[in-house]
């Protein structure tokens, strides 16, 4: 293993773009289907893995929503989240900001409380067992109507202390952020911070709408932002972080090859990209695999990796004091590593 590979693996880092439902490994999918008597169109691990060939975001989303149908009880959500956090502990991930998609569950008759109970107990246990800190971000599914988002927000308002922010995900094209302006205003008025998937497949104007109408504090993906030089400069000047997901971009064919990935261009443009896994079980890698693949494809330097690691804490929603502490620990690690 090279110096830079070891550095990546051991570097303390934060994950800021992770859908908990996207950590459902094929083994767990089949085990939960059996435990809960859920019929799946897959019988073997080979069948499941065969379904993981995607030509675009929608292709993936169809499989992702089908996969999550095995999640029924609080124990299922606990097992899912704790397995992810155990893995992150082995990858030196110290802080996670995790998306969940309640409408993907309430639409199937699984209650909001069932989801929350399982997730919260897993995050609490991981804090005690590994010292990993976490924040939950509840996403609205943009292919569903505004009414459904408002209903979901009402449930979130009942557990305000446990949910840090709201996000927007699912099928991007044809569902501009403007469709959710009112629900985001109500969410912000209730104290939730806002983020949104924008510019993954959708045009740069969706990033502009997410900034101006949803008043987001971080951009999820944002690859296509670079097509608009004026907007790029504005985001760079703001210091806002972007949660970039290299293996996801490759598997959903947002980029043809990882070597074409825009991350270095983002750094050169003065933006603040971070590296994340999105839906690791579907896209072939967790945090370290994303860093390693991107480093190899773009030949990222030691300094660029350090920049990305620092960005992960700087771009997080930790308090200034927590950020300072994490960065001191990070800087000590980089000084001592040999
Ligand atoms: N839901 C889970 N992963 C997603 C992604 N990459 N884009 C949009 N919605 C998602
Ligand atoms: Zn995502």
Q: What is the pLDDT of residues 37-90, one digit of tens each?
A: 999 999 999 999 999 999 999 999 999 999 999 999 999 999 999 999 999 999
Neighbour-count burial of 196, counting CB atoms closer than 10 A to its CB (0-12 exposed, 13-18 middle, 19+ buried): buried
- Is residue 165 a part of any domain in this protein? yes
Tens-place pLDDT, residues 198-236: 999 999 999 999 999 999 999 999 999 999 999 999 999
Other CB atoms within 10 A of residue 90 CB: 11
Catalytic, 200? Answer yes
- Is residue 298 a part of any domain in this protein? yes
Other CB atoms within 10 A of residue 306 CB: 17
Residue in the structure block whose two tokens are 């929350």: 116
> Which pLDDT does position 203 carry in this prediction?
98
Radius of gyration of the chain from its Cα atoms, rounded to whole angstroms: 19
The DSSP code for 55 is S
Other CB atoms within 10 A of residue 41 CB: 9
Residue 8 has pLDDT above 90, yes or no: yes
Ligand 1 atom with minimal separation from the 22 CA: 2
Which residues constitute the domain of residue 212? 16-314
- Whole-prediction pTM: 0.98
Neighbour-count burial of 162, counting CB atoms closer than 10 A to its CB (0-12 exposed, 13-18 middle, 19+ buried): middle
Tens-place pLDDT, residues 193-207: 999 999 999 999 999
- Is residue 75 a part of any domain in this protein? yes
> Which pLDDT does position 248 carry in this prediction?
98
> Which pLDDT does position 338 carry in this prediction?
87
> Which pLDDT does position 158 carry in this prediction?
98
Ligand 2 center to residue 167 CA distance, Å? 10
Question: How many Å from the N-terminal Cα to the C-terminal Cα in the chain?
Answer: 13
Tens-place pLDDT, residues 306-323: 999 999 999 999 999 999
Whether 22 is in the pocket of ligand 1, judged by its Cβ within 6 Å, is yes
CA distance 97 to 220: 12
- Is residue 121 a part of any domain in this protein? yes
- Is residue 10 a part of any domain in this protein? no
Report which secondary-structure segment, H or E, holds 127.
helix 112-130
Using pLDDT thresholds of 50, 70 and 90, give the confidence band for residue 16. very high
CA distance 315 to 219: 10
- Is residue 327 a part of any domain in this protein? no
What is the domain-level CATH number for residue 140?
3.20.20.140
Number of domains in the chain: 1
- Is residue 172 a part of any domain in this protein? yes
**For range 260-265, the mean pLDDT:** 98
Whether 169 is in the pocket of ligand 1, judged by its Cβ within 6 Å, is yes
Write down the catalytic residue from 21, 172, 200, 201. Answer: 200
**Which of 200, 255, 277, 290 gets mutated to test ligand 1 (max ligand atoms within 8 A of its CB)?**
200
- Is residue 5 a part of any domain in this protein? no
Residues written for the chain:
338
Whether 21 is in the pocket of ligand 1, judged by its Cβ within 6 Å, is no
């Amino acid at each position: 293993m090279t110096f830079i590979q070891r550095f990546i693996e051991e570097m303390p880092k934060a994950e800021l773009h992770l859908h908990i439902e996207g950590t459902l490994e094929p083994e767990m999918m089949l085990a939960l289907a059996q435990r809960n008597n859920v019929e799946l169109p897959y019988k073997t691990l080979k069948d499941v893995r065969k379904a993981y060939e995607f030509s675009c975001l929608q292709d993936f989303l169809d499989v992702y929503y089908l996969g999550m149908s095995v999640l029924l009880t609080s124990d299922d959500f606990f097992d899912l989240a704790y397995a992810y956090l155990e893995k992150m502990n082995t990858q030196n991930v110290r802080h996670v900001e995790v998306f969940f998609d309640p409408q993907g569950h309430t639409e199937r008759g699984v209650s909001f409380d069932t989801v929350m109970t399982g997730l919260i107990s897993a995050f609490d246990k991981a804090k005690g067992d590994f010292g990993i800190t976490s924040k939950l971000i509840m996403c609205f599914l943009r292919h569903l109507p505004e009414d459904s988002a408002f209903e979901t927000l009402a449930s979130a308002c009942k557990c305000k202390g446990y949910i840090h922010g709201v996000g927007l995900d699912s099928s991007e094209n044809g569902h501009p952020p403007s469709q959710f302006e009112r629900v985001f205003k109500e969410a912000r008025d209730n104290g939730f911070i806002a983020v949104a998937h924008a510019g993954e497949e959708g045009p740069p104007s969706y990033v502009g709408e997410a900034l101006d109408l949803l008043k987001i504090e971080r951009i999820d993906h944002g690859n296509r932002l670079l097509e608009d030089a004026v907007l790029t400069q504005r985001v760079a000047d703001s210091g806002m972080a972007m949660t970039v997901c290299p293996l996801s971009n490759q598997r959903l064919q947002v980029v043809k090859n990882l070597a074409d990935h825009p991350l270095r261009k983002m750094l050169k443009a003065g933006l603040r990209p971070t590296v994340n896994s999105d839906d690791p079980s579907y896209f072939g890698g967790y945090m370290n695999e994303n860093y390693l693949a991107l480093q190899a494809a773009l030949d990222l330097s030691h300094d660029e990796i350090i920049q990305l690691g620092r960005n992960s804490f700087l771009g997080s929603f930790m308090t200034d004091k927590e950020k300072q502490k994490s960065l001191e620990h990070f800087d000590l690690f980089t000084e001592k590593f040999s």
